[in-house]
Amino acid sequence: EKIPVKIFTTPKEGSKYAAREIAHLIRSKADQGLPCVLGLATGSTPISLYAELVRMHKEEGLSFKNVITFNLDEYYPIEPETLQSYHAFMHRNLFSKVDVDPANIHIPDGRVAKDKIKEYCQKYEQKIEAVGGIDLQILGIGNNGHIGFNEPGSSRYSKTRLVTLDNSTRVANAREFQNISQVPRMAITAGIQTIMGAKRILLMAWGLKAGIVQKAVEGDVTEHIPASILQQHNDCTFVIDELAATEL
């Protein structure tokens, strides 16, 4: 089963499309007096999406007062104050610029003691369940097909857990750090089952990702390409630019 794909001329146009869908969901939930539960991603891909949401907050009165967020992942170990942490990323790009209630923000904590991580991850899952699950999950895609930090080989049934990063992921993410030795070797990530539990999924991809996008959308469903498992979700759309669409 192929994944529906929407192709835009530029990342900016694709981001605007995703932002409009998110804003519509936030507002329709607010009109019903309900919270809107968003699953959020990091990496370079969603930066333009968050910029557009901030613009809509400032210029179009889009409020995040009813929004509850769960981020996909965080490096491990890492301090939230570290520039490269996903905590710092989210505050820089979105949370510090909108009216979201800090009590409604959830990001895996890269400081949890090793012997407490299992319990911590179970609680993270329970918090998602307690608010009725994720209404809309934003995803990027790694060059190896990872979603969140679910590297190739991750189980379809995986939940939030501590994982070891692939060397290729550490190399790709080294650009955010001084050098590769500074890149953490592990991460806490929501699992593939956690992601598949979202009611709606938008995966975004820009630029030089045509090969992996083709495999995810049209290839066999395989745990070797974690994003291909999204073919089994009933409401997932890929939002991509023309460059990322060149092998479809």
Q: By CB under 6 A, is residue 107 in contact with ligand GLP?
A: no
Q: How far is CA 84 from the centre of its chain?
A: 16
- Which of 76, 124, 149, 238 is the binder for ligand GLP (CB under 6 A)? 149
Please state whether the peptide bond connecting residue 226 to the residue before it is cis, i.e. omega within 30 degrees of 0: no
Query: According to CB under 6 A, which residues from 151 to 170 bind ligand GLP?
Result: 169
Q: By CB under 6 A, is residue 148 in contact with ligand GLP?
A: yes
Q: Which stretch binds ligand GLP (CB under 6 A): 19-27, 95-103, 139-147, 236-244?
A: 139-147
- Which of 11, 39, 43, 184 is the binder for ligand GLP (CB under 6 A)? 43
The question of whether 151 is a catalytic residue gets the answer yes
- CA end-to-end span of the chain: 14
Closest CB 148 distance from ligand GLP, rounded Å = 5
Q: By CB under 6 A, is residue 74 in contact with ligand GLP?
A: no
Q: Which stretch binds ligand GLP (CB under 6 A): 7-15, 54-62, 90-98, 140-148?
A: 140-148
Closest CB 176 distance from ligand GLP, rounded Å = 9
Residue 117 CA to residue 111 CA, distance in Å, equals 9
Query: Which residues are catalytically annotated?
Result: 151
Q: Which stretches of the chain bind ligand GLP, using CB under 6 A?
A: 41-45, 72-73, 140-142, 148-149, 169, 173
